[in-house]
Structure 1
């Protein structure tokens, strides 16, 4: 599928429950290998959305922000989920030292918050989720970047 046919979906997220529900809806069609980029200002809901995705994939516990650890792994039946938060990365070269490329494999689903901090070290996203403030609510812009991402986007419409 050519990138010119890729589409964008914009939805309002009135509260935390709507963000979690959107994460669950996105998770419904995810299959590894898959890379999700999550962008937006601090507090825009990237981790909340990630929680919806990770819990919908079968994780029963808490989903915490990996701000200090850089990555939180979740081993789920038949899939490895890696949740990255690159906010504290000062130089993309730091990711090379942590073996970043090893996380992106054929059995992994990688959710990457602040992907711009890893520029040049990360694979392209299949789906880009951009969260923004809309008054007291949030808004999500979902952009397909691959055929796999487009299938997820089509399922959300």
Structure 2
């Protein structure tokens, strides 16, 4: 039986989005062989940062989580991993990514959670898992979350999440 490379889910509330993030976080935290990269796409307010808050919650990070819109990168060190939350919304040009030192973050045990990855053009590392969040109509009905694997590790992440 082959493993799925994509799936779609309906998420009904911010708490359900956080729980999806916690589920993703548990899978990401189970591996520290190499850096893992998750790209988060969606309109403003769609729930990208809420999903990241769930990932961080799975890692034991407490307190409010805000998108690093102005700092661009927010690091979190937990027991076995370094988690980096990147928000590239303010990048005017993909060349602005280089001074952020993203390549230096790609060490075993690192987890990169990248909002607005399209702003980086082709300058990002290979994306293991792409998460696209779309509003359902009416917006109060929740969100559709599409998960797609971009690497063999991404296929494994999806398989673990769908168990």
TM bracket, shorter-chain basis: over 0.9
4+ runs of 1 displaced by more than 4 Å? none
Equivalent residue number for residue 139 of structure 1: 144
For the residues of structure 1 that align with 2:9 and 2:121, how far apart are their CA atoms? 27
Equivalent residue number for residue 79 of structure 1: 81
Deviation per CA, 1:47-106, whole angstroms, max 9, x where unpaired? Answer: 000100111112123211101110100010011000000000001111112222112222
What is the CA distance between 1:23 and its match in structure 2?
Answer: 0.4
What is the aligned length?
Answer: 154
What is the CA distance between 1:119 and its match in structure 2?
Answer: 1.4
For the residues of structure 2 that align with 1:108 and 1:59, how far apart are their CA atoms? 15
TM-score for both structures, normalised by structure 2: 0.89
TM-score for both structures, normalised by structure 1: 0.92
Equivalent residue number for residue 25 of structure 2: 27
Consecutive unaligned residues of structure 2, counting only runs of 5 or more, are none
* Among 148, 152, 155, the residue aligned to 2:157: 152
| SS of residue in 1 equivalent to 2:122 | coil
1:89 aligns with 2:91: yes
* Among 83, 95, 105, the residue aligned to 1:103: 105
Please provide the CA RMSD for this pair: 1.5
What is the CA distance between 1:107 and its match in structure 2?
Answer: 2.5
* Among 6, 9, 12, the residue aligned to 2:10: 12
For the residues of structure 2 that align with 1:37 and 1:97, how far apart are their CA atoms? 19
| SS of residue in 1 equivalent to 2:123 | coil
Equivalent residue number for residue 36 of structure 1: 38
Consecutive unaligned residues of structure 1, counting only runs of 5 or more, are none
Equivalent residue number for residue 126 of structure 1: 128
